Structure formats: C-alpha cells, structure tokens
Chain A
C-alpha cells in the first residue's frame, strides 16, 4: 500500500477491485448428475477463498455410490442419446456452450479468481476466453471426424472419466470436456477439491444450453472420489491432469482394463536464455514463464538456464522487474501475483524453498507486502543453484525460479533434458537457426521460442517421458477420444 507521506510514484495504484455482485452463488452446491443438481452421499466440504480464507460455499462430496450413479447416467446418455446424434447436432450444442461461456465470461472470471486466487486479469483475459475458444474449436470438429487423420469413420470410446487440477479449474474442464463431446463420448468429470465453483456455474450453463441429461456429469470431491471414478469398470476412457505421482497410480490401476488413458502430469521446464537474446523480451518471458498464475502451471519455466556471460545482467534486471509486480487481492485489476491456492500448497512451496537455501542456493524474494489473511508467497528467485539441488529437480508449483548457467548450446540442451519430466521448454535468442537446432534436441512436448506459456485450442499440448502421454488441443487432442478404425497398409 502506498505511504501517503511520500510522493506517490508511478507504481502506486489505487485499489481497483472487480465487483463480486455479478455472482449469484448458492450457499451449497450439489453434484450435477443426469442434468440435475443432486445431493452427494459423502460429507460435504467448504470451498474457501485462498486470498481471505473466507468461506464461499458448501460443496457436495461424491462417494462411490454417487460415482456409480454418475457413470450410469453417462452410459445411458451415451447409449440412448449422444452416440445416436449427428455430429452436426453435437457440434451445435458445443457452439451453444461456447457462446454461453462468452455471455457469462465476467461472472466466470470473478468466480474463478475468488475460488482459485488467481489475478482477475488472468482469469478474465486468459482462462475464460480460452474456455470459450476451446468449445468453439472442438464444436467444428464434431461433424468432421472423418478428416481427423484416423482413417474413415473413427468411433467414440464411450464414457470418459476425467479428473482435473486446481490451477486452471474451468480451462482444464474445457480441455477435457470439449474434445470428448465433439468425438461423441459422454463425460463424468471431477474438479479439484479446492476449486469446484466455476464447474458448478458451468453446470448451470449446460442447463441453459439444454444439453441432453447425462452427457456431462460433474461430481465434486477429493482424491477418493477421483479414484473411484477412474477405476469404475464401466468407464472406457480416463483423462487425468495432475501430479506425476497420481498419474503413475492411475496408469497402474487401469493397466489391463482396456481403458484408453491420457495423462498430463508434472514438469520442470527449462527456459533457456542465450546471450544474443532480446533481453527486454526475455525478462518479460521469464516473468511470465514462472510467475504467471503464481507458478501453479505444470509447464512453468521453473528452471532458468542463462548463458554465463549475461547471467548477472539478466538476474539484475529480473530482480528490478520483480520489484514492480503487485501482489495482493486477486479481484483487483492491478494485481500481478494472486494467492497460493491452498495452505497445503503454500507449505510445500515454503518447504522446498527452505531446502533450496539449505542446499546452498542464494534466495532473493521481491520486496512486497504480504496480506495478513490468506495464503501468499512473494516471487522468489534462487541463484547459485546446482543441478542436483531439489529446487532444480522437483516440481515446486509455485512462484519460485531456480537460475542455472551454461556456456554452450550443447550444455544448455544437456541441462534442459536432465530431468525425468519433458513437458515444455523455452528458448530465447535472436538467431533463428540456433533456436531451431536447439528445439530439435529438447525432449519436451511444447517449445516456446521467444515467448512462453502460450496456449491455443488449435495447438497440441502434452509431455514426453514422465510428464505423461497423449496430447490435448488440436487434431491430436481429438484423437485421444476416438478409436481409430485403423489406417491399415492398403495392401
């Protein structure tokens, strides 16, 4: 907050909070099954705002009986309605949903920032517009499956079980639901325990769109609900985004079941800055890479690999840039850094940062005022990080950047690939031939050159190695929900 005794600098802003009056929240939310909100049979839980720790609403908790009912509703909808509907009509429902998301965009953005803690400028300008774009993109695929490159007449899989994380609650829902429906599947989806709110508003949108009952079922709950869902015997497809540990457990429990599986797991992306990079843009890219969404991004550029001769300059400019970031009320339009999503996650970020310090790295945090209530972590960078340090190896999933150096492109590539993960990477250089050569050798599914953290429904996203398998987005994302009729040899 600005000190009135001093002359205000250009960095002092008056509060500009987005009003919550646009929300029409209920006191409690049920499970959305077969087109209706129904009671859950587990013990309900509260969803709170991570920036204030205030209760927002009570959320139903689905037990295994509720999971059975939801899967049965999805199966019935698949058999009787959705699998018999023309692709053109499926597409029209998806177009309707895209439009309804646009119409209620402001409301969804406010709900998302309130429940998740992300800055309103991100939920308003990134999350929600991409949600609408995702439905709009896949809507157009629904009647064009023959052209998806999977051979003639590819078939839907049936009932898709989908479990999504808390970092982009509604966007992850869109990534899962839009291609599944376009391909002709029905869905049971479980949002993360701490971020169910926007999915509940989305359920209202599905009612407004008059989507046939049971085509999308949204069940809320914690890990045990998700486990019951992915292991349900009447599920044909499992799609999960979340931690590598849970992804591994799902790969084990679904082994031999015949369920088609796609996993979008952790990452420890290298953001490589060469000495011939456009430094101003690189600084913005580094900041966006790791501090976007408080670093709660699986593809975050959490390892900065900077060429040794520009290390000091980059780190100095990075620190001065971080000094201008505003941390605070997620609903304030001026906020750059919102709240950490939960106390549990805050504890993890703190623990790994302490380990980084104990292992000899030098810690620097941006000088910002931490609010009294809520979960917060100041943007932090570590220099003098060794490749063996846990902050260089473990996914922190918070606003913490580990800075390492390299001398040659070969060393940069070796260090970038020195991780069991392989989700994303960044390259900063003004030399196109160098960028393309380095991009060829990086073992990562998404590579951003002179940019970072770009997402688009037309662009496949997904990892190598222990970052999972399968792609979301684009034609490839559609294939994850279809059974190929077989390309065959043509012999």
Chain B
C-alpha cells in the first residue's frame, strides 16, 4: 500500500458528455485528446456524434414542459443555486482554465468570478423579464388583451470558441434557460474541461436533468445536425464565427428556426438575449357589456 508515500499519485477524471442529467460516453466510443497550451496531455474528452446530438435533443424536449412550468421564482432560485455551487468549486475551475487556456491565475480567477456573477444577474431576471418584455394592450373593444413572452422551446447553442471557455458557456446557457427553454450546447472545442465540470455543478444544483445538455466535440461536425433537427426551435450561433455559419442559417431555415447570429467574443449579459429566445403570446378574452 502506498498511502504513506510522500508524493501522492493523482486520480484523473474521465470527461464525459452530459445528456438528460446523466454522464454518458459518446455512443460512438470516440474521444479526442485535449492538451494544455504548452502541449501537455490533459484528458481524453468524449467526441460527441450525430446520435449523441439527437439523444440530447430528445432529453431537452422531454425536460422542456416541466422546466417551463416551474414557477419563475423557482427557476430563479435554481439559477442562483448554480452560482452558489460554482463559487464553492471556484478553485477547481481556476485550475482548469489555467491548464486549458494558458491563462494566468488572476485572469482565470476573473473569468470564474464573472461567470458566477453572470448566473446571479440572470437568476434575478427569471421573474422579471415577462413584466419588462410583455404588456397589456389597449385594444379598441370590450376585450382583455395581454401579451407575454414565453420560452421558444428547445434551443441548440454553439458556445463561444475563441476564448473564455467557462464564461462563454455560461453567457449562452443562462439567458436561454432562465425563461424555461431547454438547451443542447456544443462546448468550446479546444478547452472543454470547464464545460464538463460545469455539467457536474448543474447536476448537483437542482437543475432538472435534460434542461442543459452539454456535448463536447467538433462544432463543425455536430452543428449542422442540430440546425436541421425538426424538434429544435432555435439555434444560437454565438460561437459559430469560424464555422460555415451561413450554411447553418440556410439549414435552419428549412424548419424556420429562430437564429441568433455569431458574435465576436463572449456575449455581454443582456435582456435582449433573453427575449430573443422567447415567443410573444397574445391572449384576448371577451369582457361582458354591463
């Protein structure tokens, strides 16, 4: 037994996909090697396949009615809970960002802190965006008439690929799920470790399984299948700048998906992102003439 040794041998983690609240390997059995900026081996990460993407859409669709039916207060608390757990595992994320992105400790810590604060900021929107983006309508007749936004459904997302693998991911997931959407996200290809660790945070923070599904692998391989999937309502191409994103838009047009265009860098926190992934429903009801 080696328990008394001076230098302890570490126990590396197996980095897997996150689908329907579980951590499966890719059904394809494929992995790809993730190395540090200096070329040091870090992990063999699951290389998600088309089938994994479809499984993730099924999980997201299954979770959508329950998640959108949760009260806004409840969804807000769940998002806040993510911030709490992320704070508790702050050091782990700092280490992973240093390893995968070659960031300095200060820069990595800043990214983790900003990501935590983004969860807090978006958590607060869950029970407010409807008031800000919806309104009563003064129609010319005896009708009660109200317009309210509600989640569009299942959203496929290409997470930012250039940098900030944790903050980029949080900046696209949080605005999508707070309204009740469920998501299938393709993580940062080169720096996927933070994404898998974020999945562990989500799995333990009262986020129902299937609300967030995270695929590691090649965005150019998986994104076209998600853009063409008939059970996906919207696609956020935030991180698709380096892909053939016009082709993805053309594919998405077949099923008239809502499309958010590529963005340079990490999307800033905004109400606009929340509202872009909602549908406005207008309900009329007669008023009796008394």
Contact = CB atoms under 8 A, between A and B. Distances in A.
A255 interface: yes
B107 interface: no
A478 to B, nearest CB: 12
Interface in A443-480: 443-451, 454, 456, 458-462, 464-466, 468-469, 471, 474-476
A484 interface: yes
B268 A488 contact: yes
A435 B280 CA distance: 18
Contacts of A486: 268, 270, 272
Given A448-B284, A458-B137, A486-B272, A263 B145 contact: no
A352 interface: no
Contacts of B141: 454, 456
Nearest to B149: A476
Nearest to B274: A487
Contacts of A435: 285
A232 to B, nearest CB: 18
A244 B256 contact: yes
Interface string B236-259: 000000000110011011111010
Nearest to A488: B270
Interface string B265-286: 0001111100000011111111
A5 to B, nearest CB: 43
B77 interface: no
Contact of A149 (B133, B138, B279): B133
B269 A489 contact: yes
B143 interface: yes
A444 B281 CA distance: 7
A22 interface: no
B279 A464 contact: yes
A242 to B, nearest CB: 13
A237 to B, nearest CB: 15
A454 B147 contact: no
A489 B270 contact: yes
Contacts, number: 111
Contacts of B253: 248, 251-252, 255
A414 to B, nearest CB: 11
B233 interface: yes
B280 A449 contact: no
Interface centre among A244, A251, A488 (most CB of B within 10 A): A251
B138 A458 contact: yes
A131 to B, nearest CB: 14
A256 interface: yes
B253 to A, nearest CB: 4
Contacts of B104: none
A137 to B, nearest CB: 9
Nearest to B140: A456
B264 to A, nearest CB: 14
Contacts of B250: 252, 255
Interface residues of A, number: 45
B132 interface: yes
Contacts of B258: 469
Given A460-B282, A465-B233, A263 B147 contact: no
Q: How large is the interface on B (under 10, 10 to 19, 20 to 34, 35 or more residues)?
A: 35 or more
A133 B141 CA distance: 13
Interface string A128-152: 0000010000000000000001000
B277 to A, nearest CB: 11
Contacts of A468: 256
Contacts of A443: 153
Nearest to A449: B285
Nearest to B136: A458
Interface in A251-292: 251-252, 255-256, 263, 265
Contacts of B270: 486-489
Contacts of B272: 484, 486-487
A491 interface: yes
A100 interface: no
A445 B255 contact: no
B139 interface: yes
B121 interface: yes
A318 interface: no
B283 A476 contact: no
Contact of B145 (A252, A255, A265, A456): A456
A431 B147 CA distance: 21
B163 interface: no
A445 B279 contact: yes
A247 interface: yes
A439 interface: yes
Interface string B158-180: 00000000000000000000000
Contacts of A476: 147, 280
A462 B281 CA distance: 8
Given A459-B139, A466-B255, A255 B246 contact: yes
Most buried by A among B133, B139, B269: B139
Interface string A47-68: 0000000000000000000000
B135 interface: yes
Contact of B281 (A247, A445, A450, A465): A445
A165 to B, nearest CB: 17
B282 A447 contact: yes
Contacts of B132: 149
Contacts of A263: 256
B256 A449 contact: no
B280 A247 contact: no
Nearest to B118: A489
B139 A446 contact: no
Given A465-B233, A487-B271, A454 B246 contact: no
B83 to A, nearest CB: 15
B281 A447 contact: yes
Contacts of B152: 464
B167 to A, nearest CB: 13
22 contacts: A248-B254, A255-B246, A255-B253, A256-B245, A263-B256, A420-B255, A435-B285, A445-B282, A447-B283, A448-B284, A449-B284, A449-B286, A450-B286, A454-B284, A458-B139, A460-B137, A460-B282, A464-B152, A466-B255, A474-B137, A486-B268, A486-B272
Given A255-B250, A489-B121, A491-B121, 10 more contacts: A447-B282, A447-B284, A450-B286, A451-B143, A458-B138, A458-B140, A469-B256, A469-B258, A486-B270, A489-B269
Q: Which 10 pairs from chain A and chain B are nearest by CB?
A: A256-B246, A251-B253, A255-B249, A489-B269, A456-B139, A487-B271, A449-B285, A252-B253, A459-B137, A458-B137
